[in-house]
Amino acid sequence: MALIFAYPAMASSTGTQNPNYQQLLSHSQSATPERLKLSPGQTITLTSVAGGFWVVGDRASNGTASGSITIQVSGALTGGYILSVTGGNFNINGTTYAISTGSGELGRYGVYMVGNGQAGSAQFLFVDRDLGKFGNTNYGVLRVDLKDGTSEFAARLLVTIAA
């Protein structure tokens, strides 16, 4: 019985302990992610491969959604990038909304993109989160909040990201 209680003490005295959480966290904090390298004039295109929408306030009213958005880098700063939305469309609830204009920003590591725009009579907000590369294709999740008159839709699209 004394051997069972002594085992933890013997194991800790061998010098082969696993690192504690503080050591793991301090190691991960020292790793700096690689800065994204985009330049003014460069174009980024997000194209849906799957998606869905729901009516804001009535999640039971839902269906498939699709779309694409074309964005141009208009400025590069230390903290990220200034973006101009130059085109694309959203197909939500059977209606196609052609994007005419918009703006946004992208953080220095390229993980999150946020912005807003105009698509005909509709206004929209968008957020894109880069999921990373799978094979040779870069994927993201594009969330859109689009309001046209009294109708408002929330959409979530799985997109490919090409720059």
pLDDT band at 4 (very low <50, low <70, confident <90, very high): very low
- The Cβ of residue 78 has, within 10 Å, a number of other Cβ atoms equal to 6
Q: How many domains does one find in the chain? A: 1
Q: What is the mean pLDDT of residues 40-45?
A: 96
Residue 101 lies in a domain: yes
Question: Is residue 14 in some structural domain?
Answer: no
Inform me whether the pLDDT recorded for 147 exceeds 70: yes
* Whether pLDDT at 21 is above 50: no
Residue 33 lies in a domain: no
Least confident range from 26-40, 63-77, 134-148: namely 26-40
* Averaged pLDDT, 100-105: 98
In a domain, residue 69? The reply is yes
6 vs 159, more confident: 159
Global pTM reads 0.78
All residues at 6 or more sequence positions from 154 whose CB lies less than 8 Å from its CB, including other chains: 53, 54, 56, 143, 144, 145
Answer whether residue 29 is part of any domain.
no
- Whether 70 maps to a domain, the answer reads yes
For 65-96, how does the pLDDT look when each residue is reduced to its tens digit (9 = 90+)? 999 999 999 999 999 999 999 999 999 999 99
- Which pLDDT band holds residue 35 (cuts at 50, 70, 90)? confident
Q: pLDDT by residue (tens digit) across 112-137?
A: 999 999 999 999 999 999 999 999 99
The CATH number covering residue 82 comes to 2.40.128
Asked whether residue 3 is assigned to any structural domain, the reply reads no
Asked if residues 64 and 53 have their Cβ atoms less than 8 Å apart, the reply is yes
Give the domain extent around 48.
43-162
Rg (CA), the chain: 23
Are residues 69 and 85 in contact, defined by beta-carbon separation less than 8 angstroms? yes
Give the residue, 111 or 72, on which the prediction is more confident: 72
Residue in 146, 138, 39 with CA at minimum distance from that of residue 92: 146
Is 34 inside any structural domain? no
